[in-house]
């Protein structure tokens, strides 16, 4: 085998995806284990966990930048500091509104009840998990899988591929079903992909993802992707049909959550089209943030 052939294989889209995806997900798994296992004497577990999550997220962002700056020999525009505050704020607001509207529908039908209000510090574990999951999952699924697929196959194929794998990644979760995984693929997988297309940076989808998870577990006391909410500002009781509540998987598997997310996805997609941010299949390269 000559060096040119090996270089071509090494620089192929598939290998670039494989290297980055594995690196990010291995780090994600290791840091999750550390957060759950390590206790710092004299510091509450909820606070030490949050500190570890912040450090882990920073390391994840740095590792991503190092890998792809060296691998692709380019400026990492998707993590540009330009307008970061704007994208973080608008993303957080988007995720918060989407979840709040979904819960509001259940409350209006009489199936969601607040039992009591807890201390504000109850939200700390939820912030920890929302932060680490949003950063690492967006780096892997949007920063690696979506971005590189888009550069080879165009935006629409990248949306389909990344959404499919994002849904499949949740199918093994506790209380998951095929319908729940499909809901995640449609509402979150496509929404977060289009969010990246529109912003052309990772801050916007990271903020949506963070807020989406935080509001469920940390505010409304609702299971996140099948994982039971441990601590929350509100202690709640939820009942009712699975299509409305998402059952044990959580509100993400509800019809209204899918519909609300599709509305935002459509709005962002239309703007992507107007602003020529959709990359056709045969056009190589990607747009700058």
pLDDT digits (tens, 9 = 90+) for 85-141: 999 999 999 999 999 999 999 999 999 999 999 999 999 999 999 999 999 999 999
- Sign of the dihedral defined by the CA atoms of residues 131, 133, 134, 136, in that order: positive
Q: What pLDDT, on a 0 to 100 scale, did the predictor assign at position 254?
A: 96
**Spatial distance between the Cα atoms of 142 and 56, rounded to a whole number of angstroms:** 18
Q: What percent of the chain has pLDDT over 70?
A: 97
Could you report the per-residue pLDDT of 36-48, keeping only the tens digit for each?
Answer: 887 777 778 788 8
**Spatial distance between the Cα atoms of 126 and 120, rounded to a whole number of angstroms:** 11
Q: What pLDDT, on a 0 to 100 scale, did the predictor assign at position 17?
A: 95
Question: Does residue 251 contact residue 245 with C-beta atoms inside 8 Å?
Answer: yes
Q: What pLDDT, on a 0 to 100 scale, did the predictor assign at position 284?
A: 54
Give the three-state DSSP class for 114.
strand
Domain boundaries, the chain: 3-274
How many CA atoms are closer than 13 Å to the CA of 66, on its beta-carbon side?
8
The tokens of 94 are what? Answer: 């988007």
- Residue 50, pLDDT above cutoff 90: yes
Of 130-144, 224-238, 251-265, the poorest mean pLDDT is in 224-238
Question: Does residue 119 contact residue 161 with C-beta atoms inside 8 Å?
Answer: no
- Residue 280, pLDDT above cutoff 70: yes
- Residue 287, pLDDT above cutoff 60: no
> What mean pLDDT value characterizes the chain?
93
Q: Over range 165-188, report the average pLDDT.
A: 94
**Spatial distance between the Cα atoms of 167 and 186, rounded to a whole number of angstroms:** 8
Q: What pLDDT, on a 0 to 100 scale, did the predictor assign at position 257?
A: 98
- Residue 158, pLDDT above cutoff 70: yes
Residue that the structure tokens 């509540």 belong to: 245
Q: What pLDDT, on a 0 to 100 scale, did the predictor assign at position 283?
A: 54
Which ranges constitute the DSSP H helices of the chain?
A: 3-10, 13-37, 45-72, 84-108, 124-138, 147-153, 155-169, 178-183, 190-199, 203-214, 242-245, 255-274
pTM here is: 0.94
Residues 6+ apart with CB under 8 A from 68: 20, 74, 76
The DSSP result for 219-276, as a single string, is IS---BTTBPP---SEEEEE-S-HHHH-GGG-GGGSHHHHHHHHHHHHHHHHHHHHTT
């Amino acid at each position: 085998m000559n060096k040119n052939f090996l270089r071509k294989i090494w620089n192929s889209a598939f290998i670039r995806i494989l290297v980055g995806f594995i690196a990010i997900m291995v780090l994600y798994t290791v840091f999750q284990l550390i957060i759950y296992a390590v206790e710092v004497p004299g510091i509450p577990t909820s606070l030490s966990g949050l500190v570890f999550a912040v450090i882990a997220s920073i390391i994840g962002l740095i590792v991503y930048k190092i890998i792809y700056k060296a691998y692709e020999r380019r400026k990492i525009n998707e993590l540009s500091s330009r307008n970061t505050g704007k994208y973080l704020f608008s993303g957080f607001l988007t995720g918060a509104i989407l979840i709040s509207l979904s819960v509001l529908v259940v409350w209006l039908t009489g199936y969601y009840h607040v039992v009591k209000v807890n201390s504000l510090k109850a939200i700390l574990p939820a912030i920890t998990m929302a932060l680490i999951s949003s950063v690492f999952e967006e780096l892997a699924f949007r920063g690696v899988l979506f971005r590189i697929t888009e550069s080879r196959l165009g935006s629409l194929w990248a949306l389909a591929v990344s959404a499919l794998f994002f849904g499949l990644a949740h199918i093994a979760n506790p209380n998951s079903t095929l319908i729940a995984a499909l809901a995640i693929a449609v509402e979150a997988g496509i929404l977060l992909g289009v969010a990246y297309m529109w912003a052309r940076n990772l801050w916007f989808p990271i903020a949506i993802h963070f807020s989406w998870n935080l509001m469920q577990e940390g505010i409304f006391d609702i299971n996140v992707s099948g994982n039971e909410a441990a601590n929350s500002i509100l202690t709640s009781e939820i009942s009712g049909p699975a299509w409305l509540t998402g059952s044990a998987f959580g509100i993400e598997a509800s019809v209204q959550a899918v519909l609300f997310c599709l509305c935002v996805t459509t709005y962002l997609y239309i703007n992507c089209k107007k602003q020529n941010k959709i990359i056709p299949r045969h056009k190589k390269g990607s747009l700058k943030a």
